[in-house]
Amino acid sequence: MSPRAQRRPGELAFAVALLAFSLWLFAEAYKISGFSGLSTPGVFPMLASGLMVASSLAILVKVLAMGPAGGGLRRFLADITPLRQAVMVALVFAYIAAMPYLGFLAASGLFLFASIQFLWRRSVVLTALVSLAGLAAIHVVFTLVFQVVLPKGTLLRGLI
Amino acid sequence: MLETLGYLTLSWLDPWLLMLTAAGTLAGIYVGAIPGLSVTMAVSILISFTFKWSVNDALALIAGVFVGGVYGGSRTAILLNIPGAPSAIATALDGYPMAKRGEAGEAVGLTTVMSVFGGFVGIAALALFAPLLADFALMFTSRDYLLLALIGILLVGTLSGESFAKGVFAGALGVLIGMVGLDPMTAEGRFTFDTITLMGGIPYVVAMIGFFGVAEAFVQLHRLDLPAVKQKIDRVIPRLADLRRYFRVALRASGIGTVIGALPGTGGDIAALLAYDDAKRATKNPQVPFGEGAREGLVAPEAANNAAVGGAFVPMLTLGIPGDAVTAVIIGALFIHGLKPGPLLLVETPHLFWFTVGNLALANVFLLIFGLTGIRIFTKIVECPKAVLIPLIIILSAVGSYAIQNNPIDIYWMLLFGVFGYFLKVYGFQVGPVILGVILGPMMDANYRRAMIGARNDPATFLWDFLSHPISCVLLIAFLALLISQTPLPRLARAALRRRRPPDREAG
């Protein structure tokens, strides 16, 4: 594989973040049992996090050798975290947060409707129909085939 | 003997298991075919739904999905030029040109029959060699398991992704995720930050769903629009003369597939590419040149990737070391059902082994049936818009994460892993090594410490043990050879050469 000449937008920051993350994990691994023995619980975590530090250093060196991506924040937003991804992550987060209150079915229905409407951009009626069909399918599969316990909401006292 | 036969045919005779295998295979074909849905994703989510089932039921469904999914990728590769799964990348090279010439039906038919052929070769190898390997593996010590696991992670790390460093990083990250929680040997907390939540560890199925399901869904958001290409489908049942003609290619490819599948860490995607390459070199005078619709180029990768399924089960069931990412996930399923894949699995639970063999064979029979029928409906379903599919995947993932422990916190873990996995993928990391690390990490830790304690904590004795025992020594040599081939030294030398020439800006 021939090396790329240019970084991806945000790649340098990501490489630095990975290194920082690895160093922090190494410090945490050291705290488990330090260098007190060769078969202590902390040895393997230290080896693994040490490998992470070494490999993230190697990654960082390679990234530094490449030319900058150019385009700045705007390109990062366009290529790496476009609005679509950001909105979806926010929707998923809202979905998880709402589940304990609304219950699984209502929260999933709303999430399906909102995200399909956002991604698909068809008429509201069509989106609603598709979400309902999807929800019905999920409900049947989970409660009948897999018999999974689904989270119930506190809002309607577990009615849905 | 009679008992073994009973286990082998269990899923063939029990209508419920028969139905589950059929359903799994059919679902697998679609999962494999729809770009954005992967077998690994489907199996990780399925584990969380099936862990309350009996082992046989769960395994029947999972085996079906695995077999169907590896094959399914070829359908979209042929019809739309979009490999539905990584193992179908080589299939698209010659499959799509065939479809463009109006031979889509023939391509699908030939692919199906050769996939099933490859599948049976892989299963035969599993049935023949796994018991031998398991006997042999009884001689393995902790050191050897440590080395085997290292080789597995190293292979996945080197063969996938952009660079060795990224593979190592991903593997080590997985190992650390597997370490979180109470140490099984001393019950000391590791990375628990004095919270009770983390003491039980991070459920690995949640990590799998996050990395394979949610992260992939976020990546797919970049490619929402699937070009709809309509293909004319005529004759599907392949000609007998064609089958006879490509038999040798298929046999060679199946051999390659089985061996590659059986190597710890390498699976169908690599097997398919290698077999394609081999067929290209071995075929002196193809009727049609490779890349323009050569049937050899279609037969080889498809026979190989299905043969790799049986191959991948060999190290998984005999050594407890997954052959690829999907088997890593299936090992997770076996753990959940209280089984310990390893050399003793064949001694303690032989019925499970023979059941799996019979079941894989059954799944291949269903593959033949479903592969040669229902192609017209298929093209309609695959055109399901991703804008609808992705939210559904996310809901499935959320339910799957929740179902393991009925704990809402796990869904947040899933989202966290999903977002992290998304960035890893975007920046050229592979998530396969992470999952292998999660599964193998705790096992490597325990084996390392056992070996070290066995050497009375003396590093010199510990190292000498690796050299003085023949099995350890051979494995060590294999490990080192693999490692040296990946050191930056050869690359640095090449880079130095390149620097003397004017820089090539367009590379990559």
pLDDT (tens digit per residue) in B358-402: 999 999 999 999 988 877 777 777 667 788 888 988 988 888 888
- State yes or no: pLDDT of B256 exceeds 90: yes
Per residue in B29-42, pLDDT (tens digit) is: 888 887 767 788 88
Give the end-to-end CA distance of chain B in Å, rounded to a whole number: 57
Q: Which site among B46, B179, B425 would you substitute to test the A interface, given the most A Cβ atoms closer than 10 Å to its Cβ? A: B179
Instruction: Indicate if the pLDDT at residue A21 is higher than 90.
Output: yes
The residues pairing with B20 across neighbouring beta strands, listed in sequence order, are none
What pLDDT, on the 0 to 100 scale, is given for residue B412? 92
Question: Amino acid identity, residue B298?
Answer: L
- Residue of B165, B411, B422 lying closest to A96 (CB–CB): B411
The pLDDT, as a whole number, for residue B251 is 93
The residues pairing with B190 across neighbouring beta strands, listed in sequence order, are: B181
Rounded Cα distance, B160 and B270, in Å:
9
Q: Is the pLDDT of residue B75 over 50?
A: yes
Size of interface A-B (CB pairs under 8 A): 180
How far A154 CA lies from chain B's nearest CA (Å)?
14
Among residues A79, A98, A125, the one where a domain terminates is A79
CB B70, CB B42: distance < 8 Å: no
- Chain A CB within 8 Å of residue B218 CB: yes
Residue B420 has what pLDDT? 94
Three-class SS state of A150:
coil
Please identify among residues 435-454 of chain B the ones whose CB lies closer than 8 Å to any CB of chain A.
437, 441, 444-445, 448-449, 452-453
The first and second tokens of residue B10, run together, are 């269990």
Q: List CB contacts (< 8 A) between A93 and chain B.
A: 415
Checking if the pLDDT of B231 tops 70, the result is no
Among A79, A103, A126, the domain-final residue is A79
Determine, for residues B165 and A130 on separate chains, whether the beta-carbon distance falls below 8 Å. Answer: no
Rounded Cα distance between B433 and B187, Å, is 27
B71-B77-B78 Cα angle (round to 5):
100
B391 at A interface, C-beta within 8 A: yes
Answer yes or no: is pLDDT of A18 > 90: yes
- Between A119-128, B150-159, B191-200, the lowest mean confidence (pLDDT) is in B150-159
The pLDDT-based confidence of B25 (bands split at 50, 70, 90) is: very high
Lowest average pLDDT, out of A92-101, B10-19, B156-165, goes to B156-165
* pLDDT above 70 coverage of chain B, percent: 92
Distance of alpha carbon B478 from alpha carbon B125, whole angstroms: 23
Element (H, E) at B146: helix B142-159
Angstrom CA distances, B117 to B1, B21, B302, B363, B366, stand at 26, 18, 10, 12, 13
Same domain, A73 and A96: no
Calculate how close chain A gets to B457, using CA atoms only, in Å. 6
Kindly identify which residue of chain B lies nearest to residue A22, measuring between CA atoms. Answer: B173
* pLDDT value at B440 more than 80: yes
Chain B residue closest in CA terms to A115: B391
- Percent of chain A whose pLDDT exceeds 90: 38
Cβ within 8 Å, pair B218-A45: no
Interface of B with A in 45-104 (CB under 8 A): 49-50, 52
Confidence of residue A4 (pLDDT cuts 50, 70, 90): low
* Whole-angstrom distance, CA of residue B224 vs CA of residue B217: 10
Q: What is the pLDDT of residue B227?
A: 55
Confidence band of A24 (pLDDT split at 50, 70, 90): very high
Average pLDDT over residues B332-340: 84
Contacts 24+ apart (CB under 8 A), B76-81: B76/B33, B76/B34, B76/B35, B76/B382, B78/B104, B78/B107, B78/B108, B78/B111, B78/B298, B79/B104, B79/B108, B79/B229, B79/B231, B79/B379, B79/B382, B80/B226, B80/B227, B80/B229, B80/B382, B81/B229
pLDDT at res. B51 = 78
Give which of B342, B345, B364, B363 is closest to B354, Cα–Cα.
Answer: B345
Residues A67 and A113 in one domain: no
CA of A101: which chain B residue's CA is closest?
A: B408
Taking only the tens place, the pLDDT of each residue in B270-322 is: 888 889 888 888 888 888 888 888 888 889 999 999 999 999 999 888 888 88
A71 with A89, same domain: the answer is no
Nearest by CB to A146, from B49, B165, B402: name it.
B49
Q: Which residue has the tokens 């990559």?
A: B508
CB contact under 8 A, A115 and B190: no
Report the alpha-carbon distance of residue B320 to residue A135 in Å, rounded: 38
Q: Are residues A61 and A109 in the same domain?
A: no
**Which of A88, A86, A89 is closest to A78 using CA atoms?**
A86
In one-letter notation, the amino acid at residue A81 is T
Using CA atoms, how far residue B451 sits from A158, B141, B146, B319, B326, in Å, is 53, 8, 9, 17, 29
Element (H, E) at B21: helix B15-33
Q: Do A115 and B169 touch (CB under 8 A)?
A: no
Mean pLDDT over all residues of chain B? 84
Residue with tokens 């692919």: B111
How many other CB atoms are there within 10 angstroms of residue A145's CB atom? 12
Cβ pair A59:B399 closer than 8 A: no
What's the farthest any 2 CA atoms get from each other in chain B?
A: 71
What is B389-415 written as a DSSP string?
A: HHHHHHHHHHHHHHHHHT-THHHHHHH
Whether residues A15 and A36 share a domain: the answer is yes
Number of domains within chain A? 2
Say if A1 falls within a structural domain. no
* Encoded tokens for B25: 């295979």
Residue A6 placed within a domain: no
For B495, nearest residue in chain A (alpha carbons) = A3
Of the partner residues B179, B422, B507, the one whose CB lies closest to the CB of residue A3: B507
* Residues paired with residue B181 on neighbouring β-strands, in sequence order: B190
Residue A152: inside a domain: no
Mean pLDDT in residue range B195-217: 84
Task: Check whether A80 has a pLDDT greater than 80.
Answer: no
Inter-chain contact B391–A111, Cβ cutoff 8 Å? yes
| pLDDT tops 90 at residue A110 | yes
Q: Does A115 sit within 8 Å of B394, measured CB to CB?
A: yes
Q: Which of chain B's residues have a Cβ under 8 Å away from the Cβ of A54?
A: 168
Q: Which one of A14, A38, A43 has the shortest CB-CB distance to B423?
A: A14
User: Which value, to the nearest 10 degrees, does the dihedral of the CA atoms of residues A85, A91, A97, A101 take?
Assistant: -160
Residue at B69: amino acid letter: G
Q: Do B408 and A100 touch (CB under 8 A)?
A: yes
CA distance B341 to B352: 10
- CB within 8 Å: A45 and B176: yes
Q: Which pLDDT belongs to residue B284?
A: 80
Q: Which of A7-11, A60-64, B409-413 comes out lowest in average pLDDT?
A: A7-11
Do A45 and B191 meet the contact criterion of CB atoms below 8 Å apart?
yes
Q: Is A52 found in the same domain as A70?
A: yes
pLDDT at residue B233, rounded to an integer: 66
Nearest to B261 by CA among B245, B249, B248, B272: B272
Q: Do A34 and A67 lie in a common domain? A: yes
Q: Residue A112's domain spans which residues?
A: 83-146
Locate B360 and state its tokens.
Answer: 């894989």
**Widest distance between CA atoms in chain A:** 66
A134 to B392: CB separation less than 8 angstroms, yes or no: yes
The span from the CA of B78 to the CA of B83, in Å, is: 8
Residue B471: CB atoms within 10 Å: 15
Give the number of other Cβ atoms within 10 Å of residue B285's Cβ. Answer: 5
CA distance A58 to chain B (A): 6
Contact residues, chain B, for A40 at CB < 8 Å = 186
Please report, for residues B54, B136, B182, B318, the alpha-carbon distance to residue B139 in angstroms, rounded to integers and kept in the order given. 32, 6, 30, 12
Contact list, A55 vs chain B (CB under 8 Å): 165-166, 168-169, 172
| B501 has a pLDDT exceeding 70 | no
Contact B54, A147 (CB under 8 A): no
Calpha distance B324→B122 (Å, rounded): 15
Residue of A nearest to B51 (CA): A146
Which among B363, B381, B380, B382 is positioned nearest to B371, based on CA atoms?
B363
Sorted by where each begins, the domain ranges of chain B are 2-454
For residue B160, the 8-state DSSP code is: S
Tell me: pLDDT of B50 over 50. Answer: yes
The answer to the question of residue A3 being in a domain is no
Distance CA A54, CA A13 (A): 17
Tell me how crowded residue B337 is: count the other CB atoms within 10 A of its CB: 17
Contact B208, B44 (CB under 8 A): yes
Please state, rounded to an integer, the average pLDDT across all residues of chain A: 84
* Predicted local distance difference test score (pLDDT) of residue B226: 55
Residue range A29-45, pLDDT digits in tens: 998 888 888 888 888 99
- Distance between CA atoms of residues B217 and A97, nearest Å: 20
In degrees, to the nearest 5, what angle opens at C-alpha B196 toward C-alphas B436 and B434?
A: 10
| Cα nearest neighbour of A98 on chain B | B408
Residues near B448 by Cβ (< 8 Å), separated by ≥ 6?
Answer: A39, A43, A44, B142, B146
Give chain B's count of helices (H) and strands (E). 26, 2
